[in-house]
Structure 1
């Protein structure tokens, strides 16, 4: 699935070694190909300021985006002509660019929404065509030398800038540098050649991994082996699309492979799937699918790209767009987390070995055994049944309680508006009101239910937030977004019931959307989620997920769909236990992949030698000599997370520290509502208009610490304070 936007998009307090010293700001880079254009006149906006969904067609979207893209590029050229002589860049350059963004952004947002909410109206091929055309148009302002130079001149001229003005200038300047606008002559030609070759290599890597993933197939005919499978898994694997009727096909597609490894009782079958998974593209099987050479080429090209742009390594270049600021800061945090996680992994694996031995395993645990026995142990210890818990989370109750929580904490009101055009009858529209305003400050669509063949489905990711329109003072537009999920639809008059995991996803996506909806920035280019550093982009979503573990909140959002009884206290406690089950092992896996990514893009050591060196530090089980997992690690090689995989873990660390302020308020003298107001005034209000490290300091009064994350995971604090 194509990414929507290539966003570019701390920690020192009484520690022996400072974790964090930040000196940089950030932006994002957009480089995309051209498509054909259709200049017909078209608009997708109704008189009420909301998109026209009833009569939207692919043709309308393509015609609108083509016309708007050409107008956008023409507008950028007009701005360029006045750039050299401008007296005030904010008035003469950035405000006109904001106006150009407005229509293009809306059409693009509507297209993204339809792609995820009703793919029969917006098939993948059509969406990608529109996405690429819009991307290309929008990139024109970041590849403009006159606009880049005007931003540099304005920054040198003005000394008394607001945070938002500073961030806006810094964004245009950094985008220009990362696009090589200050690179001249032969180096410029070489940079263009490197980027072109790099894109080809990334595409080839992705294609080979996809082919290798689809090539593996294994058949199961024994009904006994699928007896414990969830019905959804057995149905997905059945060649007859019937859970009770085989044969069943094992594949490496994530929605099959991951649950299969957890539920298959046959050790040989698990081994077969595992070795197929970790040996993809290794060359041990089909030599034509080998990606080792491509991986090394990509590493070399990215290093050359960084060198031409003036950075020591590709990681150093990546850090320009990250909250962490430097590879040293990231390594310090990762190492500190490992100090707690690695010893706990030893204890957890010993306990899992004993558990498996007591239940018939007479051999040492291997890699292909862990998911199966981990699930069995979790069920045995906590009697955790996701389907039973589902009965306590009817969707209407969860949504109402979520809205009430946000109303209390952030002093807003969320009110449903009827008679709004949507892409499906199940979709609702909500206005967001501030306590001090009688008119809405933002709005969002809510599309909760799965619709077979109509919605994009990605395993383990049941929800999406789409920014349809940013807040912009120049055009007087308010934020608009869409929240799209794949929850079970009501059946036979029975309410939609959520698993606890789905409740968590709902809270996470809504928390993410609040940063977009409640922004107070004036320039859309730095409002809400725009311009937020990659390793801080997921923070607000993760903060919201912590509330589902809060005892007061979970009693508010839960109520049996028949009796309305709240979730029993023993189950509430078990949710915490399940969260912490084998957390040392799980954290070590994330730390290993995060560090491997950084080492791949900051050293020249051959990938297999790197893996062999690093493996024992992060893993109890020995390294299997045929394991070639980096050769199919598309996220960091062919996708956009090279030298950035750590961002997911960093966001979780920041979010845990933020939420700990609410915990401390409840246990101490501070009013928890005051913390909520402070959180809204910092993280939710500023978005990308202030550097996240500074936003954190304003909220917490200090730099971040990993302590809260360790506490949530039930891991010991091994950081020695002075």
Structure 2
């Protein structure tokens, strides 16, 4: 007798794991398709029941009924998409390609359901008479806006076209991300002992570990994970090998053949422009920014250009110093992009008597994790207890139970810190379950992914430690959420506000009192020497011209892609060159994410016309952290309580209202320029 699709399938069972954590040890790829099919059918039936209700629309029988719908599908999808990002396989990737258009069709079927929209619009038109609580009123307004922005007001033939666009985009986004992952998995630079000139011990150890993982014992391997290639570009004395690694890194997704992302970008940009036009917007950027804090392209461009020219001036001064250092070593050629990090490290050593190889032994991963946890405890009154008894999807993952000051359960936090071939590059936060208190009190299950090079022990750079704190800030946004409805939970906020809670949290990592406590040598346990700490903090703005130029160029490139109206004949490489020439991009610096591996833009639409959001949020975070400095106490209880309100509010209030309630005024850009060293402090 063969099993039916629901037999032995954990998605069709009530999970008895502690805290409702997915039973990862039992979930297999073949469990997803029948669960997806069931979940979509059940969700459609739930929506049809809402529209078939003969009673007049009420907030309870329409909006709250929608909040209750799709729970089975959400549970399956949350597990699936986290696994395809964190621990994918050929089987999972095939399912992702198959189901991407089906999910899009499903979503658009709901978003363009005329009966459902009629009920929502009826409530929206009467919203001032319904006696709704503030969070309910905002939920209704955002639901209505979501329908409108999906095309609910369009005539039938245009609705059909919107659905077709959505389906095709979903497929293209999935293929784009898989193509980048293919290149990252496929490429490796295999080195012999004789090729390691300049590499410090931690970089050699990481390269040896990467080789061992690939069955190349006795060799050394550099991969295209940022945690592997950046240290190689920083320390390798072999200019020829730096060039090889650099060119492979920037050409991810840009190869003739089945994994070429250029034709995908061309089609994605064209479909987005068509989508915006159908909805009455001149460009896709106009469409996206209409529902943001920034509101329009003029505001975004103004912000980016406010930092672009100062950043270029600072980068030009940095380049001159690097060129001088190169000449002193006998290299008379102009600095090339694969030279910048190498000579920047040499200049940094000379100016600040600071060597990354001297710093890194004090940044032990486990200590920095403890620093992030303890900082959250001091600010927000929560604690983290490791739970090695709970199931995980990969041995690298560590699970923590989070509790409040009274010992009550807050949620679960999964930490997945190491690079591997089955994980996409970058760093991100996601959730297996979001917090809500609608029908029952539901605690969140949050995951942070990083891509650190595993070592014994794992040592981080200063930037790595900031990344860890950044993603943990996102994690706190999910863990500290205290909202009624799941649609408003945690990070479900405007795209240009979502980075504020993460970026402001970074500041506590570099606070001297944090470093004095947690930056301890991996062998001796001794705290970082005061002299080294002083030099490290003095060098914080070193190379900020480079960092600001590579980021801002990517944000400007994003804006140019999505304000373009003539898209049918888009030559991606030529377009990139033209944009970078127009803005005066320094030849020695590459844009942080070239189009063919710019996953923020093209492996999904979340940050499309929105990559500026990191800088927008930095205005908020630099200004916001300044409040603690002004108070003379980085853990000022009153400020911490008001900051916690932002983390807990989700999308129940307008973001600028939340910020001004915390800060006492709207943000100012001066703190950002000072923080990046683009003006005199």
* TM category, shorter: 0.7 to 0.9
Which residue of the partner structure matches residue 477 of structure 2? 515
Q: 1:479 aligns with which of 444, 455, 465?
A: 444
Root-mean-square deviation over aligned CA pairs: 4.3
The answer to whether the 8 Å contact 2:352/2:535 transfers is yes
Determine the structure 2 residue equivalent to 1:334.
304
Deviation at 1:651, TM superposition (A): 2.7
- After TM superposition, the structure 1 = structure 2 runs for residues 305-316 of structure 1, keeping only pairs within 5 Å, are 305-316=275-286
Task: Give the alignment partner of residue 636 of structure 1, picking from 586, 601, 623.
Answer: 601
| Structure 2 Cα separation of the partners of residues 512 and 380 of structure 1 | 36
* Equivalent residue runs for 1:294-309 within 5 Å: 295-309=265-279
Are 1:173 and 2:144 an aligned pair?
yes
In the TM superposition, residue 664 of structure 1 has moved relative to its aligned partner by: 1.6
Alignment partner for residue 109 of structure 1, among 78, 91, 100?
A: 78
- 1:20 match: none
Structure 2 counterpart of 1:11: none
User: Structure 1 residues 271 and 519 mapped into 2: Cα distance closer, same or farther (>3 Å)?
Assistant: closer
Is 2:625 the counterpart of 1:663?
no
Q: 1:288 to 1:55 in 2, by over 3 A?
A: closer
Give the Cα–Cα distance (whole angstroms) in 1 for the partners of residues 481 and 286 of structure 2: 30
Deviation per residue, 1:590-622 (Å, 9 max, x gap)? 112211221222134766367436536443438
Residues 62, 636 of structure 1: CA spacing in aligned structure 2 closer, same or farther, 3 A cutoff? closer
Task: Tell me the alpha carbon deviations over residues 50-102 of structure 1, each in whole angstroms, 9 at most, x when there is no partner.
Answer: 235376332556555543443222111111212x74341x2102222222344
What is the aligned partner in structure 1 of residue 411 from structure 2? 443
Query: How many Å separate the matches in 1 of 2:665 and 2:62?
Result: 37
1-structure distance, mates of 2:281, 2:180: 30
The 5 Å alignment of 1:153-552 reads 153-159=122-128, 161-195=132-166, 223-224=194-195, 228=199, 230-231=203-204, 232-233=206-207, 236=210, 242=216, 245=219, 258-271=230-243, 295-386=265-356, 388-394=358-364, 397-415=367-385, 420=390, 427-433=398-404, 435=405, 439-440=408-409, 442-447=410-415, 450=418, 456-461=422-427, 464-483=429-448, 499-530=461-492, 532-552=493-513
Of residues 573-582 and 653-662 in structure 1, the stretch that sits farther from structure 2 once superposed is 573-582
Q: TM-score normalized by structure 2?
A: 0.82
Is the counterpart of residue 596 in structure 1 residue 550 in structure 2?
no
Instruction: Confirm or deny: 8 A CA contact 1:511 1:541 kept in the other structure.
Output: yes
The residue number in structure 2 matching 1:5 is none
Q: As a proportion of its length, which structure holds more helix?
A: 2
1:652 pairs with 2:652: no
In structure 2, the residue matched to 1:689 is 652
Tell whether the 8 Å contact from 2:413 to 2:446 is kept in structure 1 after alignment: yes
Matches within 5 A, 1:38-53: 38-39=5-6, 42-46=12-16, 49-51=19-21, 53=23
How many angstroms does 1:352 deviate by? 1.4
Q: Assess if the C-alpha contact under 8 Å between 1:654 and 1:704 holds in 2.
A: yes
**Higher RCO (Cα < 8 Å, 6 or more apart):** 1
Deviations 1:410-433 (A, max 9, x none): 234445668655557874431322
Describe the superposition over 1:444-493 as per-residue Cα deviations: whole angstroms up to 9, x where unpaired.
1344665977xx434453x64434233232233232323455668896xx
Residue from 528, 533, 543 that aligns with 1:572: 533
Residue segments in structure 1 that go unaligned for 5+ positions in a row = 1-36
Kept after mapping to 1: 8 A contact 2:15/2:23: no
Paired residues, number: 661
Change (3 A) 1:421 1:573: same
Larger mean Cα displacement after TM superposition, 187-196 or 541-550: 187-196
- Unmatched 5+ stretches in structure 2: none
Quickly say closer, same or farther: Cα 1:402–1:358, change in 2 above 3 A.
Answer: same
Q: Distance in 1 between matches of 2:193 and 2:398?
A: 43
